[in-house]
Every structure is written in C-alpha cells, then in structure tokens.
Amino acid sequence: MRWRGLTGVLSSQACTLSANRLLTVAVPWLVLDRTGSAAQTGLVVACQVLPYAFTQWLAGPLLDRVGPRRISMAGDVSSAFVLIIPAVFGTPPLWLLTLMLVVVGCADGPASAAKRMLVPFAAADAGQSTTRGVGLATAVERTATAAGTALAGWLVATLGGDRALWAAAAMLGAATVIVTLTVSDPVRDRGRDDRTYLDRLRTGTAFLRRSRPLRALTAMFVVTNLLDQALMAVLLPVWARAGGYGATVVGLALSTVGLASIASALASAGFGARLPRRATYLIGVLSSGPTRIVVLALGLPPQVVIAVYALAGIGSGLFNPLLETVQVELIPAPLRGRVQTLISAWAWAGIPVGGLLGAALLNAGGLDTALWICGLAYLVAVLRPAWRMDWSAPKPPGEPVRLPPLGRNRLTRMLRERPSPPNRVEHRHPLRPRADRKAVAARR
C-alpha cells in the first residue's frame, strides 16, 4: 500500500503524456489533411501550446490552496470531455477544432503541473527519496514520448486523425480515474497570504526573485530551451539536408536520445542519490547540451553524430532528475505550486522564438557560424549555475551538526576567556527549603 500513491501518480503521468504526444502528431496531420496549409497548421498547434505554459503559472496559487489532486482531476476530465466532441457531433470545422485545442491547452497545463507537484509527496509516502521518485517520473516521461509518438503514427495511418482524438480522450479519462482512486492530496497551505489570489501569486514571484540558486536555474532553462528549439526546428534539419543525409538520420538521432535517456533516468532513480551532485550536473549538461551542437559544427559523419546523441541522452537522463530534486529541496512545500509553475512558465518563454533565432543566425552567418554561436551560448548557460549554487544535499532531520575541529591554542584561549563561577557557595539543608528573607524580616 505504501507504493499505491507513487504508482498512481506515475501511471496517470504515463496516460496524460502519451495523450499529449498523440495530439502533437494527430492534430497537425488532421489540419494539414483538411486544409493543405502549413500556416494554418502552425496556427492551430500554437493555440494549444501557448496556453499550456501561461495557465500553469496562473494555476500556481490554486495548486497550493486547492490541492494538486483536484487540479489534476479537473484538468484531465475537461480535456477528455472536449476531445470527445468529434465522436458525438462528427468532424468539427477548423474554428471549432482550434477552440477545442485552446481549451485542452488551458486544462492540460495546470493538470501537468499538479502531477509534477504530487511526485515528491507520493515518493515520501512510499518511503523513497525525492531523487528516486523524480527519476522514475523522468523515465515515464521519456517512455511516454517515444510510445505516444509511435502510437499516434499508427492510429493516424490506420484509423485517421479523428479516431486518434478519441484515443487521447480515453487516455485522459483513464488518468482521471487513476488519480481519483490512488492519490491523496498533501497538506495544504493555510498561511497568512491566503487572503487574495494576487497576494499568493506575488508571494511566489517574490520568493523566486530572492532565491539566487533558483534564479540561476531559471535563466539556464530559458536559454537552453531557446537554443534547443533553434537546433531542433531549424539547424538540425538544415544540417541534414546540406549533408545529403535526409530525415532518416535526424529521426534516428532523436530516437537514440530518447532511448538512452530512459535508461539513464532509471539508473538515476536507482543510485542517483549517492552520486556527487556538482559533478553529475556538469557531466550531464556538458554531454547532453553543447556537444549536440558542436558535433554538427565539426562536420563529423552521421555515425559519429548518432553516437554523440546517444551520450547526450545518457547525460540528459542523469541531470534532469537532479535539477528537479534541487528545486523540490529549495522551495518550501507551501510555495511549491506557485514557484515551480512560475519557473516552468519562464522556461517555456524562449521556445516560441527559438525557431526564429535559428533562422536569423542562419541567414546572418551561415550554418557553421550559427552552430558555433549556439554551442558557445549553450556552454555559458549551463556552466553558470555550477558555481552560483550550493549543490550539497540537505542534512536529514535529527542528524547531529558536526563542528570543525579546534586547534589546541584556540581551545585553550576559549577556556581562559570563559567566565569563572562565583567563589561563594551557599549551603542549604538538604530537606529544609530556603526561607524567604523578606518574609522572615516581616515576621520579626
């Protein structure tokens, strides 16, 4: 029974993430098949992605006040209800499909943040460390990304885009049932900042602004997500096309990253708590970040590129659970919903303009120059938190504090400076209480 909550959270995450990956393939294919316009396809997809990050931030105070379990259930059931509209009313027009995806994005953002918030609480209830719980959640996310995308391709090819939406609705409904039956809410915040919604929102913003380690991590997330989007959307396809490799090499490299990250995330769940944190972070980010860009700039053959991307997947599965664990440790539990959703919103801020940045660098200096600039910027971004943060793990409660050893001269000086006790010693009868002098004088 101890693992019931953690198993339920991970299972609901698997259902929700698989549904999301299914939508990322089915919706563009459905719009493109109906309209034949790439511009309209991009607009419809953006209508789902943009509300996802914005509503996460707005839902932060509600997560702390109402509880993540209820937010997760409400978001998943709302998305499932919207996606079954084609099953009831037939194929929707384009405007209705766009409105459906806006609602799905608004509901899915808070629901995903709620499940992320439930992981450390469920891991603690199961008697497991936060590192193990987050490592398992990362492995579930990477597995759902690979399996959901493959399932989406099969469903769209065999049943069509409309039926794929039904499958996504069924997965979201299953996630709602799992959370309802297996997960319980953590203790909610009853602090003095409960007066208004805006007060709670400002409290989370102020905490992030005052925390130097969290500011360093947030800045790193913004820059790396921006550069990752520039690489995936523009630079990597252009490199493959310029070298005559085609889309097969790109797909193989990306799938290699996903498979390797699943294995390393499971390894992190097993023994990640025993690894030195700063070294794990540096090895992980350096192998999974700048190397993916530099290997393209060096013009190495595709076999080497795929091998480097496999190492990048291993590094990604190691350091991502570590960063999630550090955030859980740095943010107090009553503020976790507000602060984590704000960090996620900032991390997503650079994604919409990442493709534009890659295209601008490509037009300004060519492919090699763009790759070297992105690789150098990535290196600077990931090295900054390494020396601006204290990576030591917090001491468990009840552990005695170890003081540094004192030298002989310092110990002697401390003993000399200690005030001596008074010389006069008052002797009292062992059975007779000391009489009050004022009372004795009054009786006289």
At 78, which CATH number?
1.20.1250.20
Give pLDDT, residue 355.
80
Q: Per the domain annotation, does 399 fall within a domain?
A: no
Residue 197 within a domain? no
- Residue 410 resides in a domain: no
Full residue range of the structural domain in which residue 242 is found: 206-393
Q: Using CA of residue 255, residue 54, residue 166, residue 98, what is the dihedral sign? A: negative
Q: Which two tokens stand for residue 121?
A: 């609480």
Report angle CA 381, 383, 388 to the nearest 5 degrees: 105
Q: 325 and 213 in one domain? A: yes
| Residue 200 domain-assigned (yes or no) | no
Phi and psi at residue 311, in whole multiples of 5°? -65, -35
Query: Is 120 within a domain?
Result: yes
Q: Phi/psi of residue 152, each to 5°?
A: -65, -45
Report yes or no on 64 lying in a domain. Answer: yes
Instruction: At 426, list the tokens.
Output: 């008052």
Q: Collapsing DSSP states into helix, strand and coil, what is residue 36?
A: coil
The verdict on 219 and 318 lying in the same domain is yes
Amino acid identity at 128: Q
Same domain as 345, residue 231: yes
- The pLDDT tens digits for 335-377 are 888 999 999 889 888 887 888 888 888 888 888 999 999 999 9
- In the three-class reduction of DSSP (H, G, I as helix; E, B as strand; rest coil), residue 442 is classed as helix
**CA 338 – CA 60 distance, rounded (Å):** 4
Supply the pLDDT for residue 403: 41
- 100 to each of 35, 44, 80, 82, how far by Cα in Å? 17, 10, 11, 6
156 and 235 assigned to the same domain: no
Nearest of 349, 40, 327, 100 to residue 224 by alpha carbon:
349
- pLDDT at 418 (0 to 100): 47
| Cβ-contact 311, 164 below 8 angstroms | no
Q: Do 46 and 144 fall within a single domain?
A: yes
Closest CA to 324 of 280, 290, 374: 280
CA distances from 54 to 73, 214, 325, 349 (A): 19, 19, 23, 9
Low-confidence ranges of the chain (pLDDT < 50): 192-193, 398-408, 410-411, 414-415, 418-436, 438-440
In a domain, 424, yes or no: no
Domain match, 219 and 333 both: yes
- What is the rounded distance in angstroms from the CA atom of residue 142 to the CA atom of residue 258? 6
Number of domains in the chain: 2
Give yes or no: residues 210 and 130 share one domain.
Answer: no
CA distance 411 to 198: 54
Q: pTM for this structure?
A: 0.78
Same domain for 168 and 278? no
Please say which residue of 368, 393, 418 terminates a domain: 393
Nearest-CA neighbor of 134 among 297, 280, 319, 288?
319
144 and 248 co-located in one domain:
no
State how far the Cα of 120 lies from the Cα of 129, in Å rounded to an integer.
8
What is the model's pLDDT at position 430?
42
Q: Are residues 179 and 221 in the same domain?
A: no
173 and 239 within one domain: no
Asked, for residue 173, whether it belongs to a domain, the answer is yes
Same domain, 167 and 259: no
What pLDDT is recorded for position 359?
85
- Encode pLDDT of 158-188 as tens digits: 776 677 788 888 999 999 999 999 888 776 6
Q: Following CA atoms 390, 396, 400, 401 in sequence, which dihedral angle do they give, to the nearest 10 degrees?
A: 10
pLDDT of residue 207: 93
